[in-house]
Structure 1
Amino acid sequence: MTTTTTSPASSTSPRKIALITGGSRGLGRNAALHLARRGIDSILTFHSRQDEAQAVIDEIERLGGRAAALRLDVGDSATFPAFAQALKTTLQQHWQRERIDHLVNNAGVGVHAPLADTSEAQFDELMRVHLKGPFFLTQTLLPLINDGGSVLNVSSGLARFALPGYGAYATMKGGIEVLSRYMAKEFGARGIRVNTLAPGAIETDFGGGAVRDNEAVNQMVASVTALGRAGLPDDIGPVVASLLSQDCHWINAQRVEASGGMFV
């Protein structure tokens, strides 16, 4: 298990710590930076690009925060016990802590294929990454989340509106929204809030960067969005930071869509 970290934590009062899966790029990266601006440290996971994770850590340090990165394949639940042990070690070595405060299940992959053409292998990959992964990762890490903390599961606007080609992906996101409500019910005794964040179409490299790089796709998104443009990472990161903060301590078991008003 690969670990990349900042220097050990100082003796100042403890800062909150969020674990963000897929935090080395896209929306996860943006969320980590906005959390740092609010005084919340991050442990990022990355799949293969350690250099990208280190770049995020460097940015967080420049903002006065602390961060670490651990390699994780959210589609391989057999690795979760070893990941939990690596997380414990990282917390102890660099924060002198035993638990995190927030878990953000953000990592994901995209598949664009009509239902008639979606392969079983594509379906299984989406299931492992978007539904099975968050289910069993949260289960594995639950003892490491502080009472009074929170879990935020990332869904998609596609779980509300339907666009051809995203049926299998959206099915998994619909599942994660149901799972979030059950988590909120079962974790409530420990004061752990669980919510779902559903972004609309955002200009990132997700899904091959179509919204960001394909002008026709970008214009289509803008045309069906009340605010008249596609979303940007900076439209989502502040929402994550807010939902994890005490400002939203009474928001629980909710689906929060941040789409600029797509298909309203």
Structure 2
Amino acid sequence: MSPQKAREPLARQPDKHKLMQKLLAATMIILLSGFFAAQPSLAKQSGKKVIIMTLNAITLEDLNKTNTPNIDMLAEQGAVGLMNVRAIKTKQTGSFYLSIGAGARAEASPLASEGLNADEPTSVNSYGGKLTAKDLYLQNNSTALSDGAVYNPGAMDSSARNFKYRNNIVPGLLGEVIKKHGMKTAVVGNADTLNKRHREITLITMDLNGKVAKGNVSSELNVEDKSFPGGLRTNYNKLLSESLALLEQTDLLAIELGDTARL
């Protein structure tokens, strides 16, 4: 066996629990602000809003060792449950997100991390340069992707991968059912690193074609920060404003905090 790389002195490594405390505090600011801001509009509607917020890579130990008064308050005034999401390919992060959206253990395509705003460039080449998400969606579905929508180009490949297991695994089922009942889904946030896009959050709310009606998963939600692990972190002010705006237009909103996955 090759010798392990020497670890840096503890004093030079970021304090995970201090970072976790800041992240969880920011999470609850977004959640509580969104909840209270939505009350006037909710009173005028017969239906209610649902928010799915993902904090990837968080463990029970992290929560137990972190001071979380806002989470404690929600637990006292509401309810907190513990759920385990299982996937077919556990090394593929997107498989866990896809399993939530499919309602069954599923396998995500490697392309599934490439969730894109309608006007963002894809990795697909064309004569004039890179195709945008809107261009690629038109090629794959023969219908236009509206401005403000989000597209996951890995949806078709994910469907093909899961058919080999059993035919009742349907990627995009949650978003499709919501759409057929006249409601809308939205998504905001990402877990991008400096070298790779991570927009797996789109796998929860997309329909069968990989489309999410509203959202923003672009890099404008992040800021470069040399003091943060990996050099990139979430812009929480931007994430909050986008979340509140989308909450007014949708019935199910999925929010990716991002930073917990970057630690």
Q: TM-score, normalised by structure 1?
A: 0.33
More helix by share: 1
Q: Could you say which structure has the greater relative contact order, defined with CA pairs below 8 angstroms and 6 or more residues apart?
A: 2
